[in-house]
Amino acid sequence: MNETRSAPMTARMTGPLLVLDHLAKNYGALKVTDDVSLTVGATELHAIIGPNGAGKTTLIHQISGLAQPDSGRILFAGEDITPLTMAERAAEGLARSFQITSILPDFSVLENVALAVQGRSGSSFRFVRNASREEALNAPARVILNQFDLLPRADVPAGLLSYGEKRQLELAIALATRPRLLLLDEPLAGTSHEESARIIATLKGLKGTLGILLIEHDMDAVFQLADRISVLVYGRIIATGSADEVRNNPEVRSAYLGEEAA
């Protein structure tokens, strides 16, 4: 796998960037995802909401390649990527953030992003700790840090950042790989109100530049951000639509939003 595959994939793509085609995943007798089908456009922010245990993170695992579906297909830019590994999918343009931050705490903020810049180039990870000598990596890394308001923290060890700053850094690392689709698993989890507002503003700034599939429990954030929302309950999509359509769907209000259907 290398970056040269991306060009023909882009040329072939005429429909959605991501297509989930009847995905199913079981753990024993438990159906975690059950016949899930949805699409994400090339510049769409598509949110997936649902109660705890609905199968949202397992679904993201299947899209990113961390888990294989038992049945169904995953199409990315028109190509069936279901058999590809997580690394191969990342090379095709899928980037993922996790519920728990996945940064290198002993490396500086700049070094964390510079490593991602290096990784997207396909070069070997012979990164040395004296990052100041790696200007070919640091220059684009600084541009990305500035976009995420982290440039003043560039030389700080990543482990010393606040929790919200770590989530911002994780997004910066993901963006440094030049993804075509970002998979975001609860980016606001554990953040303060101020930190959440900063991350929401960052995601608003990214809208329209790439595809984003967002899992999030903060309904205010979801309704602010999402172009479309899919509701996952007991492993099945029960509704997909705009914020207003989902908010006013009686089945959604009864099953997830905690209201009695009219």
- Flag the least confident range among 44-48, 199-203, 219-223, 256-260: 256-260
pLDDT confidence of 119, banded at 50, 70, 90?
confident
Instruction: Report yes or no: 79 and 163 within 8 Å, Cβ to Cβ.
Output: no
pLDDT confidence of 4, banded at 50, 70, 90?
very low
Rg (CA), the chain: 19
DSSP string, the chain: --GGGHHHHHHH--S-SEEEEEEEEEETTEEEEEEEEEEE-TT-EEEEE--TTSSHHHHHHHHHTSS--SEEEEEETTEE-TT--HHHHHHHTEEEE-SS----TTSBHHHHHHHHHHHHTT------S-GGG-HHHHHHHHHHHHHTT-GGGTTSBGGGS-HHHHHHHHHHHHHHT--SEEEEE-TTTT--HHHHHHHHHHHHHHBTTBEEEEE-S-HHHHHHH-SEEEEEETTEEEEEE-HHHHHT-HHHHHHTS-----
Indicate if the pLDDT at residue 38 is higher than 50. Answer: yes
Average pLDDT, whole number, for the chain?
A: 86
Distance of CA 143 to the CA centre of its chain: 21
Indicate if the pLDDT at residue 8 is higher than 70. Answer: no
Query: In percent, how much of the chain has pLDDT > 70?
Result: 86
Q: Would you mind telling me the total number of residues written for the chain in this entry?
A: 262
Mean pLDDT, residues 176-199 taken together: 90
pLDDT at 258: 60
Mean pLDDT, residues 222-231 taken together: 96
Indicate if the pLDDT at residue 70 is higher than 90. Answer: yes
| CA distance linking residue 95 with residue 191, whole number of Å | 21
Mean pLDDT, residues 63-71 taken together: 95
Strands 79-80 and 236-241 come out as unpaired
pLDDT confidence of 253, banded at 50, 70, 90?
confident
Indicate if the pLDDT at residue 141 is higher than 80. Answer: yes
Mean pLDDT, residues 181-199 taken together: 90
pLDDT confidence of 98, banded at 50, 70, 90?
low
Instruction: Report yes or no: 191 and 205 within 8 Å, Cβ to Cβ.
Output: no
Task: Tell me the pTM.
Answer: 0.85
Confirm or reject CATH 3.40.50.300 for domain 1-93+180-262, answering yes or no.
yes
pLDDT at 16: 94
> Tokens 């990870």 sit at which residue?
125
pLDDT confidence of 96, banded at 50, 70, 90?
confident
In the chain, CATH 3.40.50.300 sits at: 1-93+180-262
